[in-house]
Amino acid sequence: MALSQPVLSFLRPLGPPRPSTFRQFLRFSTATRLRVEASIPPESAPQTLSAQEASRAADLAAAEAATDADNPNSPAPKPTLPSKRSKQTPRSAAWPTLVASKNTTPPPYHVARSLNKNLPVYQDYKRGGNLHQTIIRKITGDLHVLKDEVKELLRKDEKDVKINDLTKQVVIKGHHKVQVMEYLASRGF
């Protein structure tokens, strides 16, 4: 008998739900609009509303206007995504460029491309992200000539552009990948 008592409570028919439990879901529905229209008196019989009723009617009208699909007010403009923005001038346009001389003699160094046919110019972060470097790899020939050209291109000091003789790399202080790649491409690499 003890087992049947909890089961019987679930088998009893449920009564109608209380209006307070689902009123929030009907707040801005069409039923609300019909209820508001029914509560508005006809034009022939003017009725004065209390301040509280007037503010409630104004709130309902504002909520209805904001939720209606046929709202005459134009919707707020959507923000433009970064991918949809107009293309600005590239960052390298602000930097001075060293135009390759019209002399047809090849430079005394060579920068080989990677397996994916990209120039081997990389950006690096060191010291926890506080030191920014640009590294040019895969250099054969005279590294000092390339170092001097890059130093002139970027207007850097002697201490900001270094050669790593062990790995045959040119290390530049700061991120200058775009400028270096454009320069190497203009040199024919």
Structure tokens at 16: 């109608």
Query: Where do runs of H (alpha helix) occur along 30-162?
Result: 30-39, 51-67, 143-154
Task: Find out whether 143 and 173 touch, Cβ atoms under 8 Å.
Answer: no
The pLDDT value given to residue 55: 77
Q: Is pLDDT at 89 greater than 60 in this prediction?
A: no
SS3 call for 62: helix
The pLDDT value given to residue 92: 47
Q: Is pLDDT at 70 greater than 80 in this prediction?
A: no
The pLDDT value given to residue 93: 47
Q: What pTM does this model have?
A: 0.48
Q: Is pLDDT at 97 greater than 60 in this prediction?
A: no
Percentage of the chain exceeding pLDDT 70: 52
- Mean pLDDT of the region 18-43: 59
Q: Which domains does the chain have, with CATH numbers?
A: 23-41+50-66 (no CATH), 102-186 (3.30.780.10)
Question: Is residue 58 exposed (0-12), middle (13-18) or buried (19+ Cβ within 10 Å)?
Answer: exposed
- Tell me: the pLDDT tens digits for 125-155? 999 999 999 999 999 999 999 999 999 999 9
